[in-house]
Amino acid sequence: MNSVIRIILQRLALGLLTLFVVSIVIFTAVNLLPGDFAQAILGQGATPDAVEAIRRDLGLDQPPITRYFQWLGAALQGDLGNSFAQANFASFVGADSGVRTTVAQQIAPRFENTMFLAAVTAAIAVPVSLVLGILAALFRNSVFDRATNITTLTSISSPEFFLAYVLILFLAVLNPMLPSLSNIFEGMSFGERLERTLLPALTLTLVVTAHMMRMTRAAIINLLASPYIEMARLKGMSPMRVIVKHALPNALAPIINVIALNLAYLITGVVVVEVVFVYPGIGQLFVDSVKIRDIPVVQACCLIFAAAYILLNLLADILSILSNPRLRHPK
């Protein structure tokens, strides 16, 4: 067991290192954006003095390296800074109310919504993909197998907004079963929230299923030529049992990795679906903040996305290791 703990600690350290490198990349990339917040907010008619004053106020006049370490130091203490856009520029005209919205306050509810959508989607998509993948492997090269492959491939190849509108058409307009708008807010009951989240979740399910299902199918079929699978057949085991009991446990590592990648996508890449359903997730906030150069929010969002990718991949690594009996039970 010790060796497993050592591997996990190594991966964890590597994950932190990656996050650090990513933070540099984020900071550099954000600073490469043309224009800055002061120009964006004051518009064309800004006087150089006004621009300069806002810059000074926000610390944008400092050299990038100083700003990077200030940002990193604060972020390490859990302080992601204050949002530019929500700042009260009254201070600039001499009447500071002292109230500022922190980035954390702004992101927290959005992030929670995103996680909720991702969780609902995962709860549908992961079991569906696994079951479809197992069935496709069981009935490989049959009509069922081909139909599943074609359907999932079609859905992954279609643009997300198209899938969203098709679902709205069938599930909200023609058969009004689900609300087409997902405007959720605080204080909603769980049931209501779930109902409003269902359509975007179904759309995303269509987007991520193909990848996971095909990997499940391929990973299982890959093992079917193994001597131990032949042995299971020669013991008179049913085809279903051969696949679920004998092939699947040995095929878990690649499947887990693809699931993790798709879950990371659900957290970071669903802007289009959020826009279509007016879902208040982190993706929309991110795009809006880029538009107005609200740098603290953009950086914080990027950092959260990067952390989500790294954490999920780390989790996938650890689960893959744990699925290998050679590592779980050393000699």
Could you say whether residue 1 binds other proteins (CB under 8 A)? Answer: no
Could you say whether residue 231 binds other proteins (CB under 8 A)? Answer: yes
Judged on CB neighbours under 10 Å (0-12, 13-18, 19+), 66 is: exposed
What is the smallest separation between the CB atom of 241 and other proteins, expressed in angstroms?
7
Contacting range for other proteins; rule: CB under 8 A; set: 100-108, 171-179, 213-221, 224-232: 224-232
In 10 A of CB 214, how many CB atoms? Answer: 20
Interacting residues of 171 by C-beta distance below 8 A, sequence separation 6+: 177, 178, 199, 202
Tell me 93's DSSP state. Answer: G
* Element holding 277 (H helix, E strand): helix 271-277
**End-to-end alpha carbon distance in the chain:** 11
From 6, 146, 235, 291, residue interacting with other proteins (rule: CB under 8 A)? 235
Helix (H, G, I), strand (E, B) or coil at 82: strand
Contacting range for other proteins; rule: CB under 8 A; set: 65-73, 183-191, 233-241, 277-285: 233-241
Could you say whether residue 238 binds other proteins (CB under 8 A)? Answer: yes
Could you say whether residue 249 binds other proteins (CB under 8 A)? Answer: yes
Q: Nearest CA to 264 among 317, 306, 302, 300?
A: 306
Contacting range for other proteins; rule: CB under 8 A; set: 65-73, 76-84, 206-214, 222-230: 222-230
Could you say whether residue 325 binds other proteins (CB under 8 A)? Answer: yes
In the complex with other proteins, the residue whose CB is nearer, 150 or 231, is 231
Contacting range for other proteins; rule: CB under 8 A; set: 22-30, 139-147, 291-299, 323-331: 323-331
In 10 A of CB 224, how many CB atoms? Answer: 16
In the complex with other proteins, the residue whose CB is nearer, 100 or 233, is 233
In the complex with other proteins, the residue whose CB is nearer, 104 or 224, is 224
Contacting range for other proteins; rule: CB under 8 A; set: 96-104, 109-117, 198-206, 221-229: 221-229
Could you say whether residue 226 binds other proteins (CB under 8 A)? Answer: yes
Distance of CA 216 to the CA centre of its chain: 21
Q: Nearest CA to 30 among 3, 62, 64?
A: 64
What is the smallest separation between the CB atom of 242 and other proteins, expressed in angstroms?
10
What is the smallest separation between the CB atom of 138 and other proteins, expressed in angstroms?
13
In the complex with other proteins, the residue whose CB is nearer, 19 or 319, is 319
In the complex with other proteins, the residue whose CB is nearer, 91 or 323, is 323
Q: What's the angle, vertex CA 265, arms to CA 70 and CA 190, rounded to 5?
A: 95
In 10 A of CB 125, how many CB atoms? Answer: 26
Q: Nearest CA to 202 among 310, 276, 309?
A: 276
Structure tokens at 132: 């479809």
* Residues contributing to the site for other proteins (CB under 8 A): 225-228, 230-238, 241, 245-246, 249-250, 325-326, 329, 331
